[in-house]
Amino acid sequence: MIQIGCFFSLVGLGYYVVLNGAGFFNFAIGPYTMFSGLASSWLVFIQGWDLPQAILVGIAATIVLSVLTELLVVRPIERRSGGEELPALIAVVAVLYAIAQLAGTLFGRRPLPGRPWFYFENPIQVGLAYIDAQVIVSVVVTLLVFTALSLWLTFSPYGKIMRAVGDNQEAARTLGFPITRVRVIAFALAGLIAGIAGPLFASKAGVGFESGLSYSLFGFIALVLGGTGSPWAPLAGGMLLATIQIMSSYFFGSVWLNYATLAIAVVFFAIRPEGIFARRVRA
């Protein structure tokens, strides 16, 4: 459960970064995650590579895919359609589908297992949960990523610019901030985060070329639940979503996972789209 929560949080964080840097919900981030996970699994199990190299290739591939999405698809379409949201939405759904098909073609249509990053012999038992090494690794990596991003947003020059753009894109543009560069950086960062998340969680339940859609949806909900007020918000959202999913599965049956997720989405989107941590508008 913790592991799943961490996963949703990371995907949500990817959304957060692109939302701040480009004002856009990058629905293709689920497939990026899937691609990295599936690519590294394929390299390890089918091609016999070592895990670290496979993961690096996965991450690199995902960053490339993400940046290409911005350069080849999102930017030209946004430029052409001005105010309307619909064309960019359709385009990113098409990218979601295309990346899934690309993965299916490259890596085959059967799901592959993942490989844990570390092993130890006996899982530690904490209450009812068995914590194996991968869970600890997941938590550590997740916290590292969130911390690194937080620090980057607060202290690095591009990080600060991205926060400014996130607050008010129009103002940032008139002030002469390098919007296009920030957008590319945002997409690249999202690709990096997704690239890490994929192989990290592939070992939990395997990964297949069609997994990207669920990842996208759950990451989106994690973001909306947590809100857009702080880079740590998707962590709360992801944990909350994972808890609700596991609880409803446990008490009512596995099909209730989907019903519960739908219910959360309907309720939260309609009632509180700003999420738990609402952004404070700087007046």
Partner 1 sequence: MISKLRQRGAWLETFSTLALVLIAIAYVQGDVYLEDVAILVATYSMIALGLYVPFIMGGALSMSYNAYLGIGAYAVAIIASKTGLGFGWGLPIGMALSAAVAVILGFATRRLSGFFLASVTVLFGIAFTSWLIASADLTGGGAGIPTFPTPVVFGVKLTHTIVVSIALLLVWIVAVLLARLRRSPFGVAVRASRRASTAVEASGIRISTIVLVSLALGAIIASLGGSMFALVNESVIPESFAIDIVFLTVFTPLLGGQSTPWGAVLGAFLVVLFTFELTMFKETGTLLFALAVLVVLVAAPRGLLGYASSGLKLLTSRLEPR
**Footprint of partner 1 (CB under 8 A):** 25, 27, 72-73, 76-77, 80, 84-87, 89-91, 93-95, 97-98, 101-102, 104-105, 210, 213-214, 217, 220-221, 224, 253, 255, 258-259, 261-262, 265-266, 269-270, 273
DSSP at 23: S
Q: Taking the complex as a whole, how short is the minimal distance between the CB of residue 215 and partner 1, in angstroms?
A: 13
Where are the alpha helices (H) located in 108-132, listed in sequence order? none
Question: Which CB atom, from 90 or from 175, has the smaller least distance to partner 1?
Answer: 90
- Host H or E run for residue 263: helix 256-271
Q: Angle at the Cα of 101 (from 223 to 200), degrees rounded to 5?
A: 50
**CB atoms near residue 205 (< 10 Å):** 13
Following CA atoms 229, 235, 240, 246 in sequence, which dihedral angle do they give, to the nearest 10 degrees?
160
Nearer to partner 1, 84 or 123 (CB): 84
Query: 46 vs 151, which CB is nearer to partner 1?
Result: 46
Place of tokens 């946004």: 78
* Minimum separation from the CB atom of position 15 to partner 1 (A): 10
Nearer to partner 1, 120 or 259 (CB): 259
Nearer to partner 1, 103 or 153 (CB): 103
Select 46 or 129, whichever has its Cβ closest to partner 1: 46
Cα 78 from Cα 66, distance rounded (Å): 16
Contact call for residues 260 and 217 (beta carbons, < 8 A): no
CB of 231 to partner 1, least distance (A): 20
- Angle at which helix 133-155 crosses helix 157-167, to 10 degrees, equals 80
Place of tokens 């926060």: 163
Cα–Cα distances in Å, from 249 out to 135, 217, 254? Answer: 20, 18, 4
Closest distance of CB 210 from partner 1, Å: 7
Residue with tokens 């880079």: 231
Residue 94 or 144 having the CB closest to partner 1: 94
In sequence order, the 6+-apart residues with CB closer than 8 A to the CB of 56 are none
| Residue placing its CB nearer to partner 1 in the complex, 100 or 165 | 100
The least CB distance from residue 228 to partner 1, in Å, is 13
Q: How far is the CB of 88 from partner 1 (least distance, A)?
A: 9
- We find the least distance from the C-beta atom of residue 100 to partner 1, in angstroms, to be 8
The number of residues making up the chain comes to: 283
- 3-state secondary structure (DSSP) of residue 48: coil
At closest approach, how far in Å is the CB of 6 from partner 1? 21
